[in-house]
């Protein structure tokens, strides 16, 4: 059979072979170029330099810090400056107080905000949207606006110059509730909750056995953020505490006082009080990053 009525053999050699897709059909992984490394090195230097300068200033004298050009390598006066700092304030007590305050606030905020975030994300109750809107609305109120009534409340309770005056007002934060609620909305399947309830588990049992393992990455991140915020908080502790029972920031405020502030002593105290924060991040940083990556994998 010839002509146009002849059937075409799709497997024959006479037919034109279909064009193959170009190599772009298989995506290639991008490789970092020299510019990427330069940018990353620059950002690292900018981030680490303040801490490095704190170390330099803590190991030099006040005259050497104010010299031109300033020294760029550490000196031999670190222990001497730390001794001078201890002569002025009790840094050990300040560090212990800050560890107690920051650790308690971090644990309390993580637990309470996880409970509230789970309720707002997955439970059904009346006025849920209204209550969540009011909670988020408190983020717009400046903390200084409530300082006077809060201080009067602490005076009535007799808690001035006690650590509970710093801990209790900050055990729950609107940001923490919002953060955990948004995470659980996306990461917690409704099917797991329904399966637990069908098996007869109570809401608290479901929260303990199902919600907490899934929320662990977000809880680790929130705990680290809250710990750092509580450690660096200055406004409320300087009002509620005195130099007799200070946190780190209150103690550093009373360091290096005089007609000419001794910046070397101030930097020595600052560097010493920064070491616990670096140690906490060094111990928990890998677990936090690993938890974030584990929580990002969907199976």
Rg (CA), the chain: 29
pLDDT at residue 118, rounded to an integer: 92
Give the C-alpha distances (Å, rounded to integers) separating 87 from 76, 185, 203, 255, 263: 19, 52, 54, 10, 15
Q: What is the pLDDT of residue 287?
A: 60
Task: Kindly state the average pLDDT of the residues 17-31.
Answer: 54
The tens digit of pLDDT for each residue in 43-82 reads 999 989 988 999 999 998 888 888 888 888 888 888 888 8
**How does residue 100 score in pLDDT terms, banded at 50, 70 and 90?**
very high
Digit-coded pLDDT (tens) for 154-190: 999 999 989 999 999 888 889 999 999 999 988 888 8
Chain segment 137-147, per-residue pLDDT in tens: 988 888 888 88
SS (H, E, C) 60-105: CCHHHHCCCCCCCCCCCCHHHHHHHHHHHCCHHHHHHHHHHHHHHH
| Rounded to 5°, angle at Cα 251 from 247 and 254 | 155
Fold of 89-296: MetI-like fold (1.10.3720)
Burial of 93 (0-12, 13-18, 19+ CB in 10 A): middle
Tell me how far apart the alpha carbons of residues 151 and 282 are, in angstroms, rounded to a whole number.
36
pLDDT, tens digit (0-9, with 9 covering 90-100), for 267-292: 888 888 888 888 877 776 666 665 55
**How many CB atoms lie under 10 A from the CB of residue 229?**
16
pTM to 2 decimal places: 0.78
CA distance 156 to 158: 5
The ranges assigned to domains in the chain are 89-296
Average model confidence (pLDDT) for the chain? Answer: 83
3-state helix, strand, coil in the chain (%, to 5): 70, 0, 30
pLDDT value at residue 188:
86
Task: From 208, 216, 189, 185, select the one nearest 295 (Cα to Cα).
Answer: 216
Measure the CA–CA gap between 271 and 55, rounded to whole angstroms.
7
Q: What is the pLDDT of residues 220-263, one digit of tens each?
A: 888 888 998 999 999 999 999 888 889 998 888 888 676 677 88
Region of residue 220 (phi > 0: left; psi between -120 and 50: alpha; otherwise: beta): alpha
């Amino acid at each position: 059979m010839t002509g146009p009525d002849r059937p075409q053999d799709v497997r024959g050699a006479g037919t034109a072979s279909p064009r193959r897709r170009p190599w772009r059909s298989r995506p290639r992984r991008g490789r970092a170029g020299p510019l990427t490394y330069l940018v990353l090195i620059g950002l690292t230097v900018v981030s680490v330099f303040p801490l490095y300068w704190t170390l330099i200033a803590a190991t030099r004298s006040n005259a050497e810090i104010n010299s031109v050009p300033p020294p760029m390598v550490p000196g031999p006066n670190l222990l001497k400056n730390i001794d001078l700092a201890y002569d002025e304030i009790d840094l050990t007590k300040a560090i212990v107080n800050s560890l107690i305050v920051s650790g308690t606030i971090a644990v309390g905020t993580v637990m309470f905000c996880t409970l509230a975030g789970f309720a707002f994300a997955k439970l059904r109750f009346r006025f849920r949207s209204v209550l969540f809107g009011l909670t988020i609305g408190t983020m717009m109120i400046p903390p200084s606006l409530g300082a006077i009534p809060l201080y009067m409340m602490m005076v009535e309770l007799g808690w001035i110059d006690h650590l509970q005056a710093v801990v209790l007002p900050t055990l729950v934060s609107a940001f923490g509730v919002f953060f955990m609620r948004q995470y659980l909305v996306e990461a917690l399947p409704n099917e797991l909750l329904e399966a637990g309830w069908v098996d007869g588990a109570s809401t608290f049992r479901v929260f303990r056995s199902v919600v907490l393992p899934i929320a662990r990455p977000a809880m680790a991140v929130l705990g680290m953020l809250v710990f750092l915020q509580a450690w660096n908080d200055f406004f409320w502790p300087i009002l509620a505490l005195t130099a007799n029972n200070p946190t780190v920031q209150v103690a550093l405020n009373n360091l290096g006082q005089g007609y000419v502030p001794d910046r070397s002593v101030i930097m020595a105290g600052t560097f010493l009080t920064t070491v616990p924060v670096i140690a906490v991040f060094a111990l928990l940083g890998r677990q936090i990053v690993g938890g974030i990556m584990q929580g990002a994998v969907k199976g």
